[in-house]
Copies of this chain bind each other. A is one copy, B any other.
Amino acid sequence: MSVWDEVPNLKNKSIPELKQLCDELRSKIIDTVMKNGGHLSSNLGMVELTVALHYVFDFPRDKIIYDVGHQCYTHKLLTGRCQKFSTLRKLGGISGFPKREESVYDCYNTGHAGTSISAALGIAKARDIKGENFNVIAVIGDGSFNNGLVYEAFNSVSEINSNILIIINDNHMSISPTVGSMHEYLEELSSESEGNAKKKRHETIFERFGLSYDGVYDGNDLALMIDKLTCVKQKLRERSVILHVATKKGKGYLYCEENPQETHGISATNGAVEYSSVLGETLISMARGDDRIVAVTAAMTPGVGLSEFFTEFPERSIDVGICESHGAVVCAGLAVEGMRPYYAVYSTFLQRAFDQIVVDICSQNLPVVMCIDRAGISGSDGETHQGEFDLSFLSLIPNLTIAVPKDINEFRKMLLLSSAFSGPLAIRYPKDGYNAFKGSSFEIGKWEIMCEGNDCAIIACGERMITLALAAAGHCAERGVSCCVVNARFVKPLDTEVLEGLKQDLIVTLEDNALIGGFGSLIDCYYSETRKQIKNFAYPDEFIPHGSVGELISKYGISVDKVSEYILKNANR
């Protein structure tokens, strides 16, 4: 391994030496991801292409932006991060995504799909304004290619007029198999051999946008990639170029090659019940009796638990691809015609539909149910993937009801109630469920007093925080301080009947969300004229890095100890 412990100079190596290096890189990636979790298949597919890029171009002088960024492991290993690679995705270790903070070889942080071409255009424009001379490369998968940002960027290639290289890394997959016409078009190009008369006859779509198109080539053929990149580097002096390559997701590891969807991301199993599986099961049982129910997602069908639904109800299932904004508007359209769309998306990706949730769904007050998975801290993917903002960016939207189930049973009940609800509804939950608290029936907007107590009221939302609140209340009770614990299963509207009824002068709020604009701030605002003492436990005003969920929650001071300590110190007994 010593050859690439520091930043190796690949330019003086022979093809056989580089192939040997590829094998070593591939082993290193497999070993590490099997231990730490991470994106496996996408990284295995990118080994030869990345080595070829480093052979042909001059990083960090040349700039490379990896779209989404979950295919950058080889890049990291070739740029001085081999020793640290064992810390991948661990708290304090290196990130699974490009990070400027980590290395000068990472020029632009990514995490959400479709941004690489826009960013490359910005960087290239800055280069041209400054009169400098380097190459700017965006590497983008065919899954990201569905996203509207790509089209917006294409549309301004000629306007911005600064040359860039776009490499389409075509492996026919997002997390799910890629959908949509653009994908079919890429397939069609792939099926035509190089120099084919048909392709020559008509312009490619890309040429319409002022981009020179070249492809399709085998991205796992190292020598070919070196050859093609060398040619493209010349052409780039004249104009922007698209190089279309096909790679095999999971390349070199048979299990991954055969199961690319399952091995897109690897994480350790932990015995929890996943909220997503409850969503899938419940929605199927509801849809059997209710023809209005339609499931919509954005390239994450298995992740949000909808695979079986899609199989049983293909006519009422829509995967819009990585197009979260479009998906939200489609849901609004379905709802105006009387359907009951369930839009299942990860919290961090729902951010991309913010305007459409405001204007299309909520200002029209339409009965769209947003099922928000991976809410709160999501863990090892780090700051671009944490779901700590949703309560903040959703609670500001008029007409929206926001539910946060205390456990999987309550989640199921919420889903069952949701199809009769007349306005927009968001239900947010983490990936894993562990508890089944004693239940109580409920109606929408109503909270639950889980235990009584006079010295302090702890108002908490979501399974993680209810668990913590009950433990802190127990801890305090042992020390003679009695706490009421309230399950704020609806963050919006607030249950003002419960809030009016709380006679405790000391209130503590707990949430798996950012402090600013979150649940606690709604409570502060509600009581602002009453002179109560309120302490909000929530995440501080900073981006939350990668690490395990448990580590991160305690890192930010949300723990039984800290909560109890505050209450014991401040309660007037």
Report the minimum CB–CB distance from A513 to chain B (whole Å).
9
Report the minimum CB–CB distance from A184 to chain B (whole Å).
7
Which of A106-114, A277-285, A426-434, A441-449 has 4 or more CB atoms under 8 Å from chain B? A106-114
Question: Would you call A529 and B533 a contact (CB within 8 A)?
Answer: yes
Looking across the interface, which residue of chain B has its beta carbon closest to that of A544?
B398
A272 interface hit (Cβ, 8 Å) = no
Could you tell me the distance between the alpha carbons of A395 and B217 in the complex, rounded to whole angstroms? 46
Which of chain A's residues 512-537 have a Cβ closer than 8 Å to chain B?
514-518, 520-522, 524-525, 528-536
B residues near A156, Cβ cutoff 8 Å: 179-181, 318, 320-321, 323, 326, 330
B residues near A342, Cβ cutoff 8 Å: none
A291 interface hit (Cβ, 8 Å) = yes
Could you tell me the distance between the alpha carbons of A53 and B152 in the complex, rounded to whole angstroms? 30
Q: How many copies does the complex hold?
A: 2
Report the minimum CB–CB distance from A196 to chain B (whole Å).
16
Could you tell me the distance between the alpha carbons of A399 and B534 in the complex, rounded to whole angstroms? 25
Could you tell me the distance between the alpha carbons of A491 and B396 in the complex, rounded to whole angstroms? 17
Contact A333 B121, CB 8 Å, known A202-B203, A318-B160, A351-B355: yes
A393 CB contact (under 8 Å) in B149, B205, B396, B398: B396
A233 interface hit (Cβ, 8 Å) = no
Could you tell me the distance between the alpha carbons of A356 and B520 in the complex, rounded to whole angstroms? 26
B residues near A154, Cβ cutoff 8 Å: 181
A265 interface hit (Cβ, 8 Å) = no
Report the minimum CB–CB distance from A121 to chain B (whole Å).
6
Report the minimum CB–CB distance from A338 to chain B (whole Å).
7
A330 CB contact (under 8 Å) in B122, B181, B392: B122
B residues near A181, Cβ cutoff 8 Å: 154-159, 208-210
Question: Would you call B326 and A153 a contact (CB within 8 A)?
Answer: yes
B residues near A210, Cβ cutoff 8 Å: 181
B residues near A149, Cβ cutoff 8 Å: 148, 325-326, 329
B residues near A521, Cβ cutoff 8 Å: 517, 521-522, 524-525
Most buried by B among A180, A355, A397, A536: A355
Could you tell me the distance between the alpha carbons of A359 and B69 in the complex, rounded to whole angstroms? 13
A399 CB contact (under 8 Å) in B112, B354, B543: B543
A159 CB contact (under 8 Å) in B121, B318, B364, B531: B318
Looking across the interface, which residue of chain B has its beta carbon closest to that of A534?
B528
Question: Would you call A202 and B205 a contact (CB within 8 A)?
Answer: no
Which of chain A's residues 353-397 have a Cβ closer than 8 Å to chain B?
354-356, 358-360, 362-364, 383-384, 389, 392-393, 395-397
B residues near A363, Cβ cutoff 8 Å: 109, 383-384, 543
Q: How many residues of A contact B (CB 8 A)?
A: 113
Question: Would you call B351 and A125 a contact (CB within 8 A)?
Answer: no
A120 CB contact (under 8 Å) in B126, B127, B333: B333
Question: Would you call A160 and B202 a contact (CB within 8 A)?
Answer: no
Could you tell me the distance between the alpha carbons of A556 and B534 in the complex, rounded to whole angstroms? 28
A115 CB contact (under 8 Å) in B108, B294, B360, B520: B360
A205 CB contact (under 8 Å) in B205, B294, B530: B205
Could you tell me the distance between the alpha carbons of A376 and B332 in the complex, rounded to whole angstroms? 26
B residues near A100, Cβ cutoff 8 Å: 336, 364
Question: Would you call A354 and B393 a contact (CB within 8 A)?
Answer: yes
A420 interface hit (Cβ, 8 Å) = no
A261 interface hit (Cβ, 8 Å) = no
Question: Would you call B517 and A392 a contact (CB within 8 A)?
Answer: yes
Contact A334 B126, CB 8 Å, known A360-B115, A543-B363: yes
Could you tell me the distance between the alpha carbons of A248 and B239 in the complex, rounded to whole angstroms? 35
Question: Would you call B531 and A321 a contact (CB within 8 A)?
Answer: no
Question: Would you call A355 and B112 a contact (CB within 8 A)?
Answer: yes
Report the minimum CB–CB distance from A319 to chain B (whole Å).
7
Report the minimum CB–CB distance from A550 to chain B (whole Å).
22
Could you tell me the distance between the alpha carbons of A336 and B134 in the complex, rounded to whole angstroms? 14
Q: Other than the known A123-B336, A130-B291, A152-B325, what 6 A-B pairs have Cβ atoms closer than 8 Å?
A: A107-B336, A123-B333, A149-B325, A155-B321, A517-B521, A521-B522
| Top 6 A-B pairs, shortest CB-CB distance | A122-B333, A148-B148, A126-B337, A151-B151, A152-B326, A118-B329
